[in-house]
Amino acid sequence: LLSNPLRGDIARVTTTPTSSAITVVRDYGGTTGAIWQPGDVLFLLPPAIAEDDDAYTASASALNSNVYNLVQLVRMNMNITRLTDEMQLNINEKTRMMLQSQKYREFRVRKELNKWFGGRSTQTANTYDTIRTSGGVKSYLTGGTNYKDFDGSLTESSWDDYLNDYFTENYDTSNIMCFIGPKAKGKILNWGKARGRVELDKDNSNKYGFKIDTYDYDGQLVSLVRCPLFNQVPTVSGWG
């Protein structure tokens, strides 16, 4: 992506220049767009790259998503406003409050899913899709041992192997916070109870707004936070 601040315009270069000169063709919304002149100062913006490309920073991308997209949240917010206006005219107060509460709950769910699993796919076509520059939390955890997909199942040995890899790679860490799906957390707690490795949050103290149970892995503590919404993501399916 090239930015021309003087003309207030941005263009995408889809072919690799073979010299110091480039040709910018504008074709957006049926117009030729801003005219770029020789001598204009241009800024090179982060390119569209694969999330897991180790040669670049994963977040340095100009990307678009159709899954839990930020655009969906904006549209839903607008729909809530319109729905509120319509209900004030055509629906009684009790029904209006019920429907409004339902829409707001749906909005909060999508907002959280976007925060965790907001997808990013390279957008190169000349369309009206909104470009987004970041994905959810998962997109920043690619590589290394920060993220683990249990792929619909979990065994005690695979959990121990994962923790061993994590603490070996992060040898200066002795206490981590693990956000995890309900199914996986239930299994881990059962294994831990049988071996005296678990300290349950029996008082529901909700530290930091969460119910946190602690799993002891050879003196290194893993704070487990259950994320119910992980059940709604097909690629995670309650495991995380």
The pLDDT, as a whole number, for residue 233 is 64
Q: Tell me, what's the pLDDT at 134?
A: 59
How far does the chain reach from its first CA to its final CA, in angstroms?
Answer: 35
Total domains in the fold of the chain: 3
pLDDT at 39: 77
Which residues of the chain fall short of a pLDDT of 70? 1, 13-35, 44-80, 82-91, 119-135, 139-145, 150-152, 201-209, 231-240
What pLDDT was estimated at residue 48? 46
Residue at 167 is within a domain: yes
The whole-angstrom distance between residue 10's C-alpha and the CA centroid of its chain comes to 26
pLDDT for 90: 66
**Are 171 and 215 within one domain?**
yes
- Tell me whether residue 61 is in a domain: no
- Domain, as residue range, for 187: 144-232
